[in-house]
Amino acid sequence: MVNESHWTYNIVRIDITASPGERFAAIRPASDQPVDGPVMRGFATFQRVCFSCHSLNKVGDAHLGPDLNVPYSAVEYMGDDKLARLIRDPQSLRWWPGARMPAIDERTLSDADLKDLLAYLHHMAGRKGS
Ligand code: HEC
């Protein structure tokens, strides 16, 4: 689901399709990840909160922001603390009037969800391309 406040387009039609994880194999974690573990929980969070604007491993429907895994994952060049800060308040890291990424607060993404999301992004940093 896309939080309404993050939806950048007008909805003209909704097609029910397979979940992103089914449509895009390249965003899936390794198959040996426990279904209720942090990486799989982070995978669900990623699809709910980030995939509406960002691709990962160059797949996805949205390209509003940069790809979150290739060539480099933000966890590689920013580190967890700065990335967490960017998610909560993008303009606190880089400011310019045209920036479009919204601040994502705890109502949309709890601190626990954010931690899981970082686990997913770290995991995917070891799974480029495919
Ligand atoms: C409404 C669209 C939108 C959503 C949702 C969104 N982003 Fe972004 N993001 C952007 C845009 C657009 C940029 C490019 C900078 C800008 O215009 O703010 C960006 C930039 C970034 C960057 C900076 C990359 C760089 O090197 O400068 C990172 C990292 C990032 N987003 C991660 C995330 C993560 C993780 C999530 C989910 C928690 C997320 N974004 C959700 C639109 C979005």
Supply the DSSP symbol for 59: B
Close Cβ partners of 87 (under 8 Å, ≥ 6 residues apart) = 104, 109, 114, 117
Q: How confident is the model at residue 12 (pLDDT cuts 50, 70, 90)?
A: confident
Span 4-125 CATH architecture:
Orthogonal Bundle (1.10)
DSSP state of 80: H
- For the beta carbon of residue 99, count every other beta carbon within 10 angstroms: 11
Give 28-40 pLDDT, tens digit per residue: 999 999 999 999 9
Q: Strand, helix or coil at 45?
A: helix
Distance between CA atoms of 117 and 119, rounded to whole angstroms?
Answer: 5
pLDDT at 16: 74
pLDDT score of 11: 74
pLDDT at 49: 97
Percent with pLDDT over 70 in the chain: 92
Structure confidence at residue 32 (pLDDT): 96
Residue from 61, 67, 101 to probe ligand 1 pocket by mutation (most atoms less than 8 Å from CB) = 101
pLDDT of residue 6: 66
Helix (H, G, I), strand (E, B) or coil at 50: coil
Question: 61-109: per-residue pLDDT in tens?
Answer: 999 999 999 999 999 999 999 999 999 999 999 999 999 999 999 999 9
Distance 114 CA to ligand 1 centre (A): 14
CA nearest neighbour of 50 among 91, 11, 3 = 3
* Whole-number Å distance between alpha carbons of 46 and 65: 14
Ligand 1 lining (C-beta closer than 6 Å):
6, 8, 49-50, 52-54, 64-66, 68, 74, 83, 86-87, 90, 99-102, 104, 109, 117
pLDDT > 90? residue 42: yes
Using CA positions, which residue lies closest to atom 2 of ligand 1? 53
The crossing angle, in degrees rounded to 10, of helices 111-125 and 38-49 is 100
pTM value?
Answer: 0.89
